[in-house]
Structure 1
Amino acid sequence: MKIGYFTDGYLPQINGVATSVEELHDSLTDRKHEVYVIAPKYPNYKDDNPNVFRLKSFRLYKNPELRLSYMFPDRIFQKVLKIDFDIIHGFSGGSIPSLGLALAKLKRKPYVFTYNTRLTHYTHYVLGGKLIRPKAVEKVVELYCNVCNHVIAPADYVKKELIEFGVKKPITVIPNGVNTKRFKPQKSDFLRKKLGIPKEDKIVIYVGRIAKEKSIDFLISTFEKVFRKEKNIHLVIVGDGPERKNLEKLITKHKISDRVFLIGFVEHKDLGRIYNSADVFVFSSKTETQGMVVLEAMASGLPVLTVKDRVFEEFIQNGVDGFIVEKNGSVFAKKLMEILEDEDLRKKISANARKKALKFSLEEIAKKFENLYKSLR
């Protein structure tokens, strides 16, 4: 099949949407399909893949750089128009998926849309949430999904949410896949050497965008409680984003600058060493459609501790292959200390987390997409 992926989230971005699109592209290419990616153009970034088409774009955010394409078709898009796609698939919403939808309607091809981002939780990016309200976003999502042929939700809870919005079109739950060959249990001293952390100290990590909706301020405030009782623990925050300066001020306020490290973005190919350097992975966002980094951590055999959210409850069995607790600083801190102090518990959870992640391997997820595409032709 000739498959067109239309997405505003793609390399060189480092986020869940970009990662899932790239890895799905690779997996289906391995299965002998012709997969094309249409994405925003980034200055000074070159693709090795000739099947990636970059459209003219403008910068939406500076750090990390995030770009959106213009809605009008440019010279490159004229080349895209000549491709006889069997399936056109848009991801997450934005200008390029909208172009994909228009192209699908023009050529009478099936249009599949993956709802990667719970957009109602991101209205604060537009004039602090004063201009656009969540209810208005719900209506836009409903209207958009109802002109698609098929909608993909990464989790059952997200499917239920879309139905509540008023989406009538068929919705299939297909979770994002995780690269279980890249992310696997394999001890590393990468972070210890990079940050000068003693061998006997424990390392707790967060990976992801540094943004308001990720609630990293909750993690930092919680760690201040942990540090009062235990000094040989370090929190490493991997990623960057608009909240970085605010978090730096919070770290200074709590007087824990010697224990919390903000190391910025790392190349996706280096993330395996990051996970393998840590003892526990923590995550406090309640806005995910699935949480790619949580699965990557589990695939790496890392015990994960998340706040209670229905999305995580779909693939983490609390106390068996990970931990889920209420979003309460004292409760979170207590559970984290329990995990760090019990090596046997960490080993048991680590083994079970790896087993669970294997159920989300790229190979298994690619088969599900392939079967769906075939059913729509």
Structure 2
Amino acid sequence: MILWLTYWYPDEANPVRGNFIRAQWRAAKEAGVDAELLFVDMALGPKLLDVQWSRGPEGEHILQVRSRMWKSLYHTPIWAANLLTKKWTKKTGLPTPEVIHAQVVFPAGVLAEQLGRRWNVPYYITEHWSKAGRWTRHKLFGKRVRNAYQDASAILPVSEHLKAELQQALPSIGASRFAVVPNAVDLSRFPHVDKPIQPKASIVTLLGVASLIPANARIKRVDLVLEALADLKRRHPEVAWRYRHVGDGGRMGRLQDYAKGLGLADHVAWLGALDAASLHAEYASADIFVQPSKTETFGIVVLEALHTGLPVVATDIPAFEQWLSPERGVRVGLDPKEIAQGILTVWEQGLRVAPMDLEAKKYAPTEVGAQLKELYARLVRASPGR
């Protein structure tokens, strides 16, 4: 049995947090991998310490920790390692895993390193985190992060650019221990829509998709899209510019107030979280997709938009280089005037993205699941124990 270990996972309060981890886990299980998943769910609580074990809707094991000192526990995985070493089999009825597969180096990878030594099993780290490379140099936690990577039997970034960044940050680790395993994206839920786009249309619908949790405030810069929209209104008042945003979170109220202050209240719609069918309908009816990210490790929503046929204006970061050619949109700086100019470029051209079925195949859950299954078989043969 392979134990997936994560601190990021969707739940009722955070329905999109770590949904890419769930998608990869599902893909592995559907490929026939014997994989259990443990979600270490830590958050603030009224008591000094309250620990509960439960099961999720798909059989996930949930270690729920609520504590007034939750941040200390989160940043000190040795506490969770002690608990799991003592309680894992008693609480789950499962044996010690043959392999641990951590999702994100901190804190799950550091916890995997602790458990790997105690259980004498190898562990792998899939890296989704845009801050991972920088955290190898963190003043407080950098040594623990480097040690977790150093002792991992395999490091599995979700993209080539993240792999390159980690290899640069970890020069002592050989290239053979790195392998890219992309996120599993079921693009069949977002079929291509052949909708002709009129250059310089008089009505333009812009679409954005991003979680609005406070932690993303400096990463998902929806505020810059609002500023760009105000600029577009000033430069081309004859055009009915509209912006629709998919995604929920604690920042929404502030962004709504900001839009109102910019005179955009009647030009912006806040749609909250949507299911796949409703999201596809938004992709299909929009004219331009806008993604103002400071960093991304993968950028699933950009891939979904392109697969639907929607041209994209996105920030010029490595995550989007492989997908965003001039035939599909524009890469711009993280600046409202550059975003506005990118939108105008697409508006003037009237772009529509051609189908990308063959390119998208490698992200299909069946492909990713098969890749994980083959990788597990090879790695377990190479490192049957520590």
| Coarse TM-score class (shorter-chain normalised) | 0.7 to 0.9
* Residue 267 to residue 145, structure 1, CA distance change in 2 (3 Å): same
Other-structure match for 1:297: 305
Tell whether 2:149 aligns with 1:141: no
Give the Å deviation of 1:234: 1.3
Question: How big is the shift at 1:174?
Answer: 2.2
Find the aligned partners of 1:23 and 1:137 in 2 and give their Cα distance: 29
1:218 corresponds to: 224
The aligned counterpart of 1:37 is: 37
Contact 1:154–1:289 (8 Å) recurs in 2: yes
- Conserved 8 A contact 1:118-1:289: yes
Q: What pairs with 1:1-377 in structure 2 (closer than 5 Å)?
A: 2-12=1-11, 13-15=14-16, 18-40=18-40, 47-50=56-59, 52-58=60-66, 71=80, 73=83, 78-80=90-92, 82-119=94-131, 138-166=142-170, 168-169=172-173, 170-186=177-193, 201-210=203-212, 211-212=216-217, 213-228=219-234, 229-230=236-237, 231-267=239-275, 270-313=278-321, 315-343=322-350, 345-346=351-352, 349=353, 351-353=354-356, 355-377=358-380
CA positional deviation for 1:94: 4.4
Secondary structure, counterpart of 1:56 in structure 2:
strand
**Bigger Rg, which one:** 2
Contact 1:281 1:304 in 2 (8 A): yes
Compared CA separation, residues 217 and 59, structure 1 to 2 (3 A)? farther
Provide closer, same or farther for how the CA distance between residues 274 and 58 of structure 1 changes in structure 2, counting only shifts above 3 A.
Answer: farther
Q: Distance in 2 between matches of 1:209 and 1:325?
A: 21
Letter in 2 for 1:35: A
Q: Match of 2:208, SS?
A: strand
Could you say if the C-alpha distance between residues 77 and 244 of structure 1 is closer, same or farther in structure 2, counting changes exceeding 3 Å? Answer: farther
Quote how far apart the aligned CAs of 1:293 are: 1.7
Q: CA deviation at 1:264?
A: 2.4
Decide whether the 8 Å contact of 1:142 with 1:162 is kept in 2.
no
* Aligned-partner Cα distance in 1 for 2:291–2:221: 9
Identity %: 22
User: Structure 1 residue 47: deviation in Å?
Assistant: 3.0
CA shift for structure 1 position 92: 1.7
Counterpart-to-counterpart distance in 1, 2:271 and 2:292:
18
Letter in 1 for 2:158: P
Q: CA deviation at 1:363?
A: 2.1
User: What is the Cα deviation at residue 122 of structure 1?
Assistant: 9.7
**Cα distance in 2, alignment partners of residues 140 and 288 from structure 1:** 24
Report deviation, 1:248.
2.5
Unaligned runs of 5+ in 2: 43-51, 69-73, 196-201, 381-386
Deviations 1:64-93 (A, max 9, x none): xx9x99725265664458335333211124
Distance 1:156 1:121, change over 3 A: closer
SS in 2 for 1:271: helix
TM-score normalised according to structure 1 size: 0.78
Closer, same or farther: CA 323–145 of 1 in aligned 2, 3 Å: same
User: Offset of 1:353 from its aligned partner?
Assistant: 4.6
SS of equivalent residue, structure 1 residue 173: coil
CA deviations 1:264-311 (Å, max 9, x no partner) are 233456433333332221111122111122222223332222111122
Cα distance in 2 for partners of 1:59, 1:306 equals 39
Give the Cα–Cα distance (whole angstroms) in 2 for the partners of residues 167 and 140 of structure 1. Answer: 16
Against the structure 1 CA distance between its residues 34 and 270, is the aligned structure 2 distance closer, same or farther, given a 3 Å change threshold?
Answer: farther
Q: Could you tell me how far apart the structure 1 residues matched to 2:263 and 2:297 are? A: 34
**3-state secondary structure, aligned to 2:124:** strand
Which residue of 2 is the match for residue 193 of structure 1? none
What TM-score does the superposition give when structure 2 sets the normalisation length?
Answer: 0.77
The residue type equivalent to 2:148 in the other structure is Y
Distance 2:164 2:93 in 1: 35
Pair 1:202–1:78, CA change in 2 (3 A): farther
Q: Is the 8 A contact 2:103 2:127 kept in 1?
A: yes
C-alpha contact 1:14 1:268 (8 A) present in aligned 2? no
Call closer, same or farther: CA 1:137–1:118 in 2, change over 3 Å.
Answer: farther
